[in-house]
A = this chain, B = another copy of it.
Amino acid sequence: MFRHDSPEEAAFRSAARTWLEANLPMALRGRTNRPPPAELMPWYRTLSGKGWIAPHWPKEYGGMGATLNEQIIMAEELARVGAPQLPAQGLNHIGPILIEFGTAAQKAKHLPPIIAGEVIWAQGYSEPGAGSDLASLATRATLAGDRFTVQGQKIWTTWGHHSHWMFALVRTDPRAEPRHAGISFLLLDLHSPGVTIRPIRTIAGDDEFSEVFFDNVAVPAENLVGKLNDGWRIANALLGHERLGTSNPQFALIALERIKTMARATGVLADPGFRDRLAAASIGVTALLALFNHAVELTNLQRSLGPDASIIKIYGTELLQSLNDLLLEAAGSDAAMANPVATNFGEVDVSTPFLQVRRATIYGGSSEIQRNIVARRVLNLPQ
């Protein structure tokens, strides 16, 4: 809508589209919930075999070394074919962090299994007492000799119960002031003795998250990333990218299409009152596309978005919620059906995406926390 492919980009898009259409199994398309590893990882490995699993990684580490535009084209084409979301903590978080901050040994050990789809990673940041106030985290890692001993608990760990490794923020200096100055960044093997993992079922019926307990878990000192007590900086270094990722307009476009299908099926599309709200929603999606494209342009110019990334997250996730409100409205008295609703235009899942999107304004920094960030760091309002 706002961006046109260069000839090279168009060729890449066309190749990607053809290949994805031919290779993505039908059973994996258009799923509202993320399929379990047994279903999902073969597809991960298929993409990996093609060399397309990590568009944004440098080629030397098994990535495509793609431009940002190519990465977006890939995301658009994956969305277009209805591809399921892949486990992203390895590809999008610890991968880039190790590439930037890891030792040669850490890179050599951990990067290839991510590319190959052999190791699934989990992120260990949040704790029961440290959600919005992440700096107050209490999981302790005590260094003695050549190993840390980790004691504590992480929560809201995406796919924790399917994961093999975790990168975590742990407290290594309990007396540090400010508190985030006593936090280190550690890699933990989840098969270590003393680790217990409990999946958490969500209101949408999936088990995307888990709790992870550490009871005197031994971690080799070589698993420290960066320097001791420098974990806060490392974890935050690439956050802008994450916010850009969670606000990918593809989710909104899919939601918009789902609304249209449902409204066509129930006949409410003929009501101009509904159409007015659909028009407003569609204009909102157009604005999100513009905002995203604007952010991509600036990122392409190597200008950091800084705290402005927060407004993309706020706008994108709140728009996604209002889209799902409209989906509920379109469904009428089918709004509360647990399973996809059969219509003349195919099955439409109403309640799952509606319930799933509750979490979008909470995790990755709630809308309230994002607004605090913007107020202080962008608008310079007083504390």
Which A residues contact B (CB, under 8 angstroms)? 271-273, 275-276
Selected A-B contacts with CB under 8 Å, 7 pairs: A271-B272, A272-B272, A272-B273, A273-B273, A273-B275, A273-B276, A276-B276
Contacts of A275 in B (CB 8 A): 273
Contacts of A271 in B (CB 8 A): 272
Task: Please measure, in the bound complex, the distance between the C-alpha atom of A276 and the C-alpha atom of B276, giving whole angstroms.
Answer: 10
Please give me the 7 A-B residue pairs with the lowest Cβ-Cβ distance, nearest first: A273-B276, A272-B272, A272-B273, A273-B273, A271-B272, A273-B275, A276-B276
Task: Please measure, in the bound complex, the distance between the C-alpha atom of A271 and the C-alpha atom of B272, giving whole angstroms.
Answer: 8
Contacts of A276 in B (CB 8 A): 273, 276
Task: Please measure, in the bound complex, the distance between the C-alpha atom of A275 and the C-alpha atom of B272, giving whole angstroms.
Answer: 10
Contacts of A273 in B (CB 8 A): 272-273, 275-276
Task: Please measure, in the bound complex, the distance between the C-alpha atom of A271 and the C-alpha atom of B274, giving whole angstroms.
Answer: 12
Task: Please measure, in the bound complex, the distance between the C-alpha atom of A75 and the C-alpha atom of B272, giving whole angstroms.
Answer: 39
Residue of B nearest to A271 (CB): B272
Task: Please measure, in the bound complex, the distance between the C-alpha atom of A271 and the C-alpha atom of B271, giving whole angstroms.
Answer: 10
Task: Please measure, in the bound complex, the distance between the C-alpha atom of A153 and the C-alpha atom of B106, giving whole angstroms.
Answer: 70
Residue of B nearest to A279 (CB): B273
Residue of B nearest to A275 (CB): B273
Task: Please measure, in the bound complex, the distance between the C-alpha atom of A186 and the C-alpha atom of B224, giving whole angstroms.
Answer: 71
What is the CB-to-nearest-CB distance from A381 to chain B, in angstroms, rounded to a whole number? 15
Task: Please measure, in the bound complex, the distance between the C-alpha atom of A273 and the C-alpha atom of B278, giving whole angstroms.
Answer: 11
What is the CB-to-nearest-CB distance from A273 to chain B, in angstroms, rounded to a whole number? 3
Residue of B nearest to A272 (CB): B272
What is the CB-to-nearest-CB distance from A276 to chain B, in angstroms, rounded to a whole number? 3
Task: Please measure, in the bound complex, the distance between the C-alpha atom of A176 and the C-alpha atom of B271, giving whole angstroms.
Answer: 64
Choose among A271, A272, A273, A275 the residue with the greatest number of B CB atoms under 10 Å from its CB: A273
Task: Please measure, in the bound complex, the distance between the C-alpha atom of A275 and the C-alpha atom of B276, giving whole angstroms.
Answer: 11
What is the CB-to-nearest-CB distance from A332 to chain B, in angstroms, rounded to a whole number? 15
Contacts of A272 in B (CB 8 A): 271-273
Residue of B nearest to A273 (CB): B276
Task: Please measure, in the bound complex, the distance between the C-alpha atom of A271 and the C-alpha atom of B276, giving whole angstroms.
Answer: 10
Task: Please measure, in the bound complex, the distance between the C-alpha atom of A276 and the C-alpha atom of B279, giving whole angstroms.
Answer: 14
Task: Please measure, in the bound complex, the distance between the C-alpha atom of A273 and the C-alpha atom of B275, giving whole angstroms.
Answer: 8
What is the CB-to-nearest-CB distance from A139 to chain B, in angstroms, rounded to a whole number? 28
Task: Please measure, in the bound complex, the distance between the C-alpha atom of A150 and the C-alpha atom of B271, giving whole angstroms.
Answer: 65
What is the CB-to-nearest-CB distance from A372 to chain B, in angstroms, rounded to a whole number? 17
Task: Please measure, in the bound complex, the distance between the C-alpha atom of A10 and the C-alpha atom of B232, giving whole angstroms.
Answer: 73
Task: Please measure, in the bound complex, the distance between the C-alpha atom of A276 and the C-alpha atom of B272, giving whole angstroms.
Answer: 9
What is the CB-to-nearest-CB distance from A368 to chain B, in angstroms, rounded to a whole number? 15
Task: Please measure, in the bound complex, the distance between the C-alpha atom of A130 and the C-alpha atom of B218, giving whole angstroms.
Answer: 61
Task: Please measure, in the bound complex, the distance between the C-alpha atom of A132 and the C-alpha atom of B273, giving whole angstroms.
Answer: 40
Residue of B nearest to A280 (CB): B273
What is the CB-to-nearest-CB distance from A241 to chain B, in angstroms, rounded to a whole number? 36
What is the CB-to-nearest-CB distance from A282 to chain B, in angstroms, rounded to a whole number? 14
Task: Please measure, in the bound complex, the distance between the C-alpha atom of A275 and the C-alpha atom of B273, giving whole angstroms.
Answer: 8
Task: Please measure, in the bound complex, the distance between the C-alpha atom of A275 and the C-alpha atom of B274, giving whole angstroms.
Answer: 11
Task: Please measure, in the bound complex, the distance between the C-alpha atom of A272 and the C-alpha atom of B272, giving whole angstroms.
Answer: 6
What is the CB-to-nearest-CB distance from A304 to chain B, in angstroms, rounded to a whole number? 34
Task: Please measure, in the bound complex, the distance between the C-alpha atom of A272 and the C-alpha atom of B269, giving whole angstroms.
Answer: 13
Task: Please measure, in the bound complex, the distance between the C-alpha atom of A271 and the C-alpha atom of B275, giving whole angstroms.
Answer: 11
Task: Please measure, in the bound complex, the distance between the C-alpha atom of A272 and the C-alpha atom of B276, giving whole angstroms.
Answer: 9
What is the CB-to-nearest-CB distance from A275 to chain B, in angstroms, rounded to a whole number? 7
What is the CB-to-nearest-CB distance from A162 to chain B, in angstroms, rounded to a whole number? 39
